[in-house]
Amino acid sequence: MPEGTVESLLKPENKDKLLAILTYHVVAGKYTAEKVLKTDKLETVNGQNIMISISDKGAKVNQSGITATDIMTSNGVIHVIDTVLLPSDDETSMMIDEETKRLARAHGCPAFSEIKTASVETRSTSSVNSL
C-alpha cells in the first residue's frame, strides 16, 4: 500500500475503513486450496465477493496472486496473497487510488499525468451527467 496509508487507516476516524479492508480478507468457513479452486467467487465477511481465477501464471484472488496455501490454524485456513485486497465502491479504495495516482505522477508515469487524469475525470463526469 502507498506510504502513509496504513497510518491513515489506523486513525480513530478511519476505523470503519480499516474494518472494511480487514473483513474483505476473510471468508467464513474452512476453505482449503482444493475447495477454493473449485469456485469462481466467495463471499467475504464484509458481504462483498472476491473472485477466484486460474491461468497459466497461477491462481489469483481478484488481481492478487496466491503465493502460499493451506496454512492450517486452530480457527481456519490461511492462503497468502501478494497484495492487499480492497473492497469495491469504498471510500478507502478511493483514498488509496488517489495516493497511488499521486505516487505515479511523482515518478513520471504518463498514464497518471494531471492532463490524462483530468481528461478521464471530465469524460466520467460527462457520462454520469448524461444519465
In the block, residue with C-alpha cell 492450517: 72
pLDDT at 123 over 90: no
Burial class (CB in 10 A: 0-12, 13-18, 19+), 107: exposed
Give per-residue pLDDT as tens, 94-103. 555 566 666 6
Instruction: Parse the chain into domains and list their residue ranges.
Output: 25-81
68 φ, ψ to 5°?
A: -155, 150
Q: What percent of the chain lies above the pLDDT cut of 90? A: 45
pLDDT classification of 72: cutoffs 50, 70, 90: very high
What pLDDT sits at residue 125?
A: 42
Cβ–Cβ < 8 Å for 111, 119: no
- CATH for 25-81 is 2.30.180.10
What pLDDT sits at residue 122?
A: 46
pLDDT classification of 110: cutoffs 50, 70, 90: low
What pLDDT sits at residue 126?
A: 43
| pTM attached to this predicted model | 0.65
